Structure 1
Amino acid sequence: MSKKFFIQQSEFSDVNLVDLPIHYYNYLSWPLVYFLSEEKNREAYVGETTDLITRMKTHIKSERKNKLVSLHLIFSDLFNKSATLDIESNLIKYLSADGYYKLQNGNLGIANHQFYQKKEVYWDLFRDIWSELRGLGIAKHSLEHIDNSDLFKYSPYKSLSPEQIDGLKTILKCLLDENAFVSLIEGGAGTGKSILAIFLFKLLKTDLSDFNYSDFDETDEELFQLQKNVREKYGQVEMALVIPMSSFRKTISNVFKNIKGLNAKMVIGPSEVVKKKYDLLIVDESHRLRRRVNLGSYYGTFDKNSELLHLDKDHSSELDWIMIQSKKSILFYDQKQSIKPSDVSAHDFEKLRLKTTTRYERLTTQFRVIGGMRYVNFINNLLDNSTKDLKPYSDHSYESFLYESLDDMVDAINAREKQFGLSRMIAGFAWEWISKEDKSKYDIVIGETKLHWNSVTVDWVNTANAIHEVGCIHTIQGYDLNYAGVIIGPEISYDPVNKTIIVRKELYKDKAGKNSIKDDEILKNYIINVYKTILLRGIKGTFIYVCDKNLRDHFQNFWNIKTIKENTESYSIQNYKSSEHSIPYYDLNIAAGSFSDFQTVENVSYIELPNLLKSTGDYFACRVVGESMNTIIPNGSVALFRKYYGGSRNGLICLVESSSISDYDLGGQYTIKEYQSKKTYSEEGWQHEEIALIPHSSDKIYKPIVLRDEELLDFKVIGEFVRVL
């Protein structure tokens, strides 16, 4: 083959099946991936097989699949069974989130196989396949765009972890157990509770009559059998997904609207459960179910619903409504995310857990923050005053530090938004929302920095203006971000004498969150839970600014400090290696506009790494000059690089070297850009057809540098960009 793969299209029909053995003789028993589709209703199905003819005959007989009219076959001599299962799974996940087609696929058995060269070869192969599918009009968005979308983050087409599968089995067994009425699944922020809730909903709403169980190994058999038994027992389950928070409920409704077999009406609020009886209610974020405390305008609805269900309004809650209106209920719960007195008490959930009719499972694996449980435990210990043996947080894979300047933190979040997207400012509820009535006024004023609260309350994270505003707990709970910039307000402080965090009730502005609370310790727990929740939103990093001086001084003992303005002058460049944290600094004057004037690297200096980074021996630093990467790397910055030893570079920002530039007016040797390449393949192997070096600049004058033919002869990648120092 001249390529690593090829895609062939044909009609999907009885007549066409006769021709398949003729046209694809060499691949009839070879692993391949296929895509069936029709344009009228935009439905599709993704599959893989080692027996093309038999599989297509099966689909033709299917009442649903025989309505599909177009067949795309994806072939590759590199395919093996594990690889096709992996590519099939990725296509299902990304095509579903792409949003153009509604997939007929179920979500049971989404593969997460580990196999030889999965990352080194097959992920690049999948990216190339995706690009060709975009060219064919099958896929619409880039993989990077989809990665940040709600439809991808909350898609039911996920590969569950072993821990999540255990939780799923507990739930299915509960549904089959005549003596069990409640599954209580407890887990902290980022442990995959919402994903499991949505996965389960899709699983129970999918027709699996023609599902090919033979593709999966014996470890899946118990799960498959449990699902079959549940479907046989309940038939078409009357069920709903209950989400207490209106903003997150709206987001998940939009996800359901785009999933085949689901619809937005299946996602409801707690007050809607009183309208009818259910076989099953799945409650996500059940710690936010309410009782009759500080309900404001909701008192009337609460009282009416309690009366309809013959409950004492003063001693009942939305949790009771769930229990009454459903034969079975599944509750996803996290006590540490209960943030106000209207939330059902932890005592009520504990009583429920101890009942003989309740089945309990705990999720502990961290899926959101790259810092993992080490970062989660650090946040919990710091805010719980368990700091006796707490070590300062430092992790080169997860960016988290204190800012001395709020302006600097805002700038850093804006820079991450340009580079990664989904980067937002969040704050504790220490300021009134005055801009709600007067848009000209600022809500949060700290020194010279003036900021607005979120201008909308529903799905704020995804609004166009969110990057210019500050979200609160009510607009961010349940959501994932790439980076979070958290302002810890003056409503909490630190008592250095008694060595404890204290609250200032008068500075806490969430009236519904503090009215009726007489015990300051209870209020403190709610406020601490607010910060635990918002400090665990960032996948790639969390930045912090603390308003109160005593609390800031206390936190400085445990967090690395980001000093005023990220500039190179704060880093001492020396002509000797002063410590194990010193790394080489090369005075290349790398041009971020074009290749710089040639400079030989003879005299190596050294620069000290920040405390949060550990020297691996592979790091080096250079100063970057020019404006063509200024949305990511400001002109004049010192940039940190990791030495390049091989592997895929597509989409990465790289430091590259070449002396074979056709336009010699550009001068010498080095530049930093985003790397993209096109390859050609032959029997002798592959070679670069062209390499494009892509700028990221606010100045549109900068264009890609494209290298071809002889210009590629001495082209070399020196290092991969890590971050700005």
Structure 2
Amino acid sequence: MTEFSIQRLPFRRDAVDTWARDDARHTNWPVVYVIEGDTRRSSPGLYVGETVSAATRMRQHLSGSKRNESLKSIRVVVNHRFNKSVCLDLESHLIRWFSGDGRYRLLNGNDGLTDAQYYDRDIYRESFRDVFEALRAEGLFSRSIPQIENSDLFKLSPFKALTEDQGIAIMDILEGLLEDLQDPDARSTLVVQGNPGTGKTIIAIFLMKLLADIRDYRDQDGIEPDSMFSEFFVPENRDLLRTLRMALVIPQQSLRMSVKKVFKRTPKLDASMVMSPFQLGESDQPYDLVLVDETHRLGQRANQASGVQNKKFREINEALFGSDDPRYTQLDWIKARSTHKLLLVDGEQSVRPHDLSPTTLSAEVSQAKNEHRFFRLTTQMRVQAGADYVEFVRAVLRSEQPSLPDLGDYELRLFDDLGEMREAIRQKDAEVGLSRLVAGYAWDWVSRNHPEAFDIELDGERLRWNGTDKDWINSKDSLEEVGSIHTVQGYDLNYAGVIIGPDLRLDPATGRIVADRESYRDKKGKENTGHLKDTFGDDDLLTFIRNIYGVLLTRGMRGTYVYVCDPALRERLAAALTR
């Protein structure tokens, strides 16, 4: 299946005309092509396409918007066994790989990417890697496929082939938003709810890129007719979106910095569009649309992580509402600064008392449902074992006794020795990359102030917490460190080695899993503050700790390794894995 050729020609009309006369397949055969920008520029552009009439499509590009992008050369992938379905699939793969590689500014829209089934798809896809390597040999890729697919640029890229429920959600969101924008007096709140790994972050990033593409679309650009979003690329929608100001709010610093890098590399998006809740609250300009990832991590008027943030919270409240009333939350800032909002939520990922209260989240969900602006994601994209694994983890943490679902090739292992799990994670990182140790916040962070000290000492192993809060997973020392919840929430790993600390244990008297307040070392995580002020009990603490481990145990795409400090809880989990 590797009988392909890559033909190269200048991006000029005379060259295309000459090339078209050389072979009938140049005017009537399904091909995939890549148009490369001037590599002497600091950020060269690149466009990937597929067509059954290459010469005609090249002439369209030469007379359309692509002529203004300093594009220099064309490479056409020709294989006499390729059909239209194969070319659509190869186009989607190349778009995703180029986006994740980061060498070029990808000039494509993100509306037409597919993941459709077709005859002999697995066999054809093996040949895609040969095409990749041929293009890499010509200098178009700077990294290997595993390196690309393990990168944040790839995982957080707006160039994704959506799952069915993601595609339906995007379509319904677009219809609702465009309807709301037609009424200048309308204000709306849309809610997307989904478990870990269902792609809530991707929904936000994909939608912002799609809205920008619709806004800037020109008739001569052409649109993939099979795209489920093609109906939105019409003049009236362009007019509605012409002056659209939008922002993406992400509460967690590490994830926010990673998304900023993606936006910096994506035409029509900009890193300045990705903001913290404080940055949005301090903004003096209104926004038409604000998307909020991890909405459950927005804060209340409670004791913040620093004196500076406490001061900012007070000042923003006073600027927006006239007083520093404790009832105002960061969600209220977003409502005050925006006309339309898209909230992406999972209430079971709240991990601190000053996160938004369950009551506040429930009210937003209920209102969105009543106004037909509520969308649910169910397809598990991260964990290869599927949604049943996620529910199994949550049920075990709730002290239930669920049956172990069919995990397929997913590797779920319980370790009795931390050193063995640490070595297993090292081996997996050497094999497939992106394998890390993570843990609940059950040890003091001594190394923050004393870098030579160790934080976690178990079974003769000495470990430190993550040495950076920014992009820790990809930092140089991350394989030898342990990531905390505040560093890994929102990220994917290939394998996660989860240390369940003494903050979670089994009560022998009741047979239920309980929280150990003394062993839980996140001071902000058990502070009498927020919606739990003066009422923060052990059941509330258990909810947060259970949520933390629910997040950590669903980071691994290919597998999860588990070490449990409490012997009785370890025995309970061992029984659950054989039930």
The answer to whether TM tops 0.5 is: yes
Greater Cα radius of gyration, structure 1 or 2: 1
**Band the TM-score falls in, shorter-chain normalisation:** over 0.9
SS at match of 1:314: coil
Change in 2 beyond 3 A, CA 1:176/1:26: closer
**2:417 touches 2:459 (CA, 8 Å); kept in 1?**
no
SS at match of 1:313: coil
Match of 2:110 among 107, 111, 116: 107
Which position in structure 1 is the counterpart of 2:49? 47
**2:419 touches 2:459 (CA, 8 Å); kept in 1?**
no
2:275 pairs with 1:268 = yes
Q: Distance in 2 between matches of 1:148 and 1:373?
A: 22
Change in 2 beyond 3 A, CA 1:347/1:211: farther
Q: Distance in 1 between matches of 2:128 and 2:483?
A: 36
Q: Kindly report which structure 2 residues correspond to 1:582-593, keeping only aligned pairs within 5 A, or say none.
A: none
2:170 pairs with 1:156 = no
Q: Distance in 1 between matches of 2:550 and 2:291?
A: 25
Which position in structure 1 is the counterpart of 2:548? 530
Which position in structure 1 is the counterpart of 2:58? 56
The offset of 1:20, in angstroms, is 2.4
2:307 pairs with 1:300 = no
2:207 pairs with 1:204 = no
The offset of 1:357, in angstroms, is 4.8
SS at match of 1:401: strand
Which position in structure 1 is the counterpart of 2:497? 485
Q: Distance in 1 between matches of 2:294 and 2:99?
A: 24
Which position in structure 2 is the counterpart of 1:73? 76
2:369 pairs with 1:372 = no
Q: Distance in 1 between matches of 2:153 and 2:567?
A: 41
Q: Distance in 2 between matches of 1:104 and 1:173?
A: 25
Match of 2:398 among 361, 369, 384: 384
Q: Distance in 2 between matches of 1:138 and 1:23?
A: 25
Change in 2 beyond 3 A, CA 1:287/1:418: same
Which position in structure 2 is the counterpart of 1:182? 189
Q: Kindly report which structure 2 residues correspond to 1:511-522, keeping only aligned pairs within 5 A, or say none.
A: 511-516=523-528, 518-522=536-540
**2:27 touches 2:56 (CA, 8 Å); kept in 1?**
no
Match of 2:230 among 192, 204, 224: 224
The offset of 1:141, in angstroms, is 1.3
The offset of 1:114, in angstroms, is 1.2
The offset of 1:191, in angstroms, is 0.4
Q: Kindly report which structure 2 residues correspond to 1:612-627, keeping only aligned pairs within 5 A, or say none.
A: none
Q: Distance in 2 between matches of 1:466 and 1:104?
A: 33
The offset of 1:17, in angstroms, is 3.0
The offset of 1:26, in angstroms, is 3.5
2:5 pairs with 1:6 = yes
SS at match of 1:354: helix
**2:464 touches 2:482 (CA, 8 Å); kept in 1?**
yes
- CA offsets, 1:177-226, max 9 Å, x none? 3356011000010001111111111111223324433x433xx45x3223
Q: Distance in 2 between matches of 1:509 and 1:134?
A: 48
Q: Kindly report which structure 2 residues correspond to 1:548-587, keeping only aligned pairs within 5 A, or say none.
A: 548-559=566-577
- CA offsets, 1:673-716, max 9 Å, x none? xxxxxxxxxxxxxxxxxxxxxxxxxxxxxxxxxxxxxxxxxxxx
**2:414 touches 2:561 (CA, 8 Å); kept in 1?**
yes
Q: Distance in 2 between matches of 1:314 and 1:354?
A: 23
Which position in structure 2 is the counterpart of 1:433? 445
The offset of 1:308, in angstroms, is 1.1
Which position in structure 1 is the counterpart of 2:337? 325
Change in 2 beyond 3 A, CA 1:545/1:29: same
Match of 1:85 among 85, 88, 102: 88
- CA offsets, 1:404-450, max 9 Å, x none? 11111111111111111100000110100001111221101123121
The offset of 1:125, in angstroms, is 1.6
Q: Kindly report which structure 2 residues correspond to 1:90-489, keeping only aligned pairs within 5 A, or say none.
A: 90-120=93-123, 122-178=124-180, 181-206=188-213, 207-209=216-218, 210-213=220-223, 215-217=224-226, 220-221=227-228, 223-226=229-232, 228=234, 230-274=237-281, 275=283, 276-297=285-306, 298-310=309-321, 312-355=324-367, 356-357=370-371, 359-387=373-401, 390-392=402-404, 395-489=407-501
Which position in structure 1 is the counterpart of 2:183? none
SS at match of 2:65: coil
The offset of 1:555, in angstroms, is 1.6
The offset of 1:290, in angstroms, is 0.5
Which has the bigger relative contact order, CA under 8 A and spacing at least 6?
Answer: 2
The offset of 1:101, in angstroms, is 1.1
**1:174 touches 1:182 (CA, 8 Å); kept in 2?**
no
Q: Distance in 2 between matches of 1:16 and 1:346?
A: 63
Give the partner amino acid of 1:8. Q
- CA offsets, 1:248-297, max 9 Å, x none? 10111111112222221111111111312111111111110100123142
- CA offsets, 1:451-479, max 9 Å, x none? 11111111111101000000100001010
Which position in structure 2 is the counterpart of 1:566? none
SS at match of 2:82: coil
**1:180 touches 1:359 (CA, 8 Å); kept in 2?**
no
SS at match of 1:524: helix
**2:194 touches 2:345 (CA, 8 Å); kept in 1?**
yes
More strand by share: 1
Q: More displaced, 466-475 or 175-184?
A: 175-184
Q: Distance in 2 between matches of 1:52 and 1:477?
A: 44
Q: Distance in 2 between matches of 1:294 and 1:338?
A: 17
Across the aligned residues of Structure 1 and Structure 2, the Cα RMSD in angstroms comes to 1.8
SS at match of 2:518: helix
**2:36 touches 2:71 (CA, 8 Å); kept in 1?**
yes
Q: Distance in 2 between matches of 1:366 and 1:127?
A: 26
SS at match of 1:259: coil
Provide the identity percentage.
38
Q: More displaced, 516-525 or 75-84?
A: 516-525
Change in 2 beyond 3 A, CA 1:422/1:305: same
The offset of 1:227, in angstroms, is 5.3
SS at match of 1:315: coil
- CA offsets, 1:282-326, max 9 Å, x none? 111111010012314221111111111115431111111111111
Q: Distance in 1 between matches of 2:550 and 2:225?
A: 39
Q: Distance in 2 between matches of 1:105 and 1:26?
A: 24
**1:180 touches 1:358 (CA, 8 Å); kept in 2?**
no
Change in 2 beyond 3 A, CA 1:190/1:250: same
Give the partner amino acid of 1:113. A
Change in 2 beyond 3 A, CA 1:519/1:358: farther
Give the partner amino acid of 1:130. F
The offset of 1:394, in angstroms, is 6.1
Q: Distance in 1 between matches of 2:315 and 2:351?
A: 25
**1:294 touches 1:341 (CA, 8 Å); kept in 2?**
no
2:35 pairs with 1:32 = no
- CA offsets, 1:591-643, max 9 Å, x none? xxxxxxxxxxxxxxxxxxxx9xxxxxxxxxxxxxxxxxxxxxxxxxxxxxxxx
Give the partner amino acid of 1:549. P
Instruction: For structure 1, list consecutive stretches of 5 or more residues without a partner in the other structure.
Output: 561-610, 612-725
SS at match of 2:74: strand
Q: Distance in 2 between matches of 1:396 and 1:56?
A: 45
**1:239 touches 1:266 (CA, 8 Å); kept in 2?**
yes
**2:290 touches 2:334 (CA, 8 Å); kept in 1?**
yes
SS at match of 1:397: coil
Change in 2 beyond 3 A, CA 1:256/1:48: same
Give the partner amino acid of 1:552. R
Give the partner amino acid of 2:36. S
**2:286 touches 2:337 (CA, 8 Å); kept in 1?**
yes
